[in-house]
Amino acid sequence: MSRTLINPASLYDGAPVGMSQARVDPESGFIFVSGQVDWDVESRVRHATLEGQAEGVMEHLITVLNEAGSSLEEVLQLRVYVRGELADGMSQLVSVFARHFGRSRPALTGVGVASLASRDTLIEIEALARLRR
């Protein structure tokens, strides 16, 4: 079984905890993107607001997808985890998603959670995409 692990040098290194930023299954053409957070390479949160972190997450998602041979247009599904009540943050997230996904409109599930990867992390997004056709 062949597999390709995606770990862009510009993102934090998941190897110490046994994860990759994404895994490509060339047989199916699917890219499974790990939960992306707004961290720098030292695993520190870059932005203080939910909207700022959502933009940072989208930057990371674009980086991972590009390295895997894909793009936002090929995203089929998103899972969005937001610290606290999801409804409280939706107004900040809608504009971010609309700007980045436009007409491609992937399937999306949003979940409010009590905690994420660090105390300052407000949002985490995982994705399922396909290789660029």
Q: Tell me the chain's radius of gyration from C-alpha atoms.
A: 14
Query: What are the pLDDT digits (tens) for 58-85?
Result: 999 999 999 999 999 999 999 999 999 9
The pLDDT of residue 56: 98
Extended beta strands in the chain, E state: 4-6, 22-25, 30-36, 75-83, 107-113, 123-130
Q: What is the mean pLDDT of residues 80-104?
A: 94
In this predicted structure, the answer to whether residue 1 has a pLDDT above a threshold of 60 is: no
Query: What are the pLDDT digits (tens) for 11-65?
Result: 998 888 899 999 999 999 999 999 999 999 999 999 999 999 999 999 999 999 9
Structure tokens given for 80 = 């969005």
